Every structure is written in structure tokens, then in C-alpha cells.
Amino acid sequence: ALIDMQQLERAEAEIRVQASSAAAASDARSKLIRVMMHDLRSPLISTLNLVHSMDRFEHLLPEGQDRVAFREEMSVLGACAHTMENIVSDFTDFERIDSGQVIM
């Protein structure tokens, strides 16, 4: 019985160590996601603002193929930026759910 208690105590200590390691890993992952989302969101907002600003200057281009190409390129750039913005928002939402800030 004494051996069984020692084994039980060692097993409990191992579980505590593993739980602590898992919590530290989860905290590190959460911090990485928060930093990464912030670092992605800043240039993304700048890109969206640039697309919006460029749309206002489209009229300065001469009529024809250049204007059509410009419009298409700005449309693609805007669509890509919006897609990335949605992905960043999804990651942020998942992180909030994972951290318990949002309850499903």
C-alpha cells in the first residue's frame, strides 16, 4: 500500500507538471495569435485605405484600357484585402472563444 501511495503521488505530481506546461503553451499560443493579428491588421487597414483613396483618383486617368485595367486591379486588391480582413477577424474570434471571452 505504501508503494501504491508513492506511485499515486508521483503520478499526481506529473499531472500537475503537464497541466502547467499545457497552460503555459496555451498562453504563449494566445499571445502569438494576438500579436500576429495586430501585426497583420495594421498593414491591411493601410491597404484598404489606399484602395479607397485610389478609387477617388480614377477619374484622372485617361479613358480607355488604362482606366479599365486600373479599375480591375483596384477591385482585385480590394477583394484580397477584404478577404484577409475576414480571416484576421475569424482568427481573433477563435482566440476570444478559446480564451473564454466569448461563450458559444
pLDDT in tens, 8-67: 899 999 999 999 999 999 888 888 888 888 888 888 889 889 888 888 888 888 888 888
Q: Give SS3 for 14.
A: helix
Q: Which residue has the cell 481573433?
A: 92
* Distances 59 to 56, 76, 89 between C-alpha atoms, Å: 7, 18, 33
pLDDT in tens, 59-101: 888 888 888 888 898 889 999 999 988 988 888 888 788 777 7
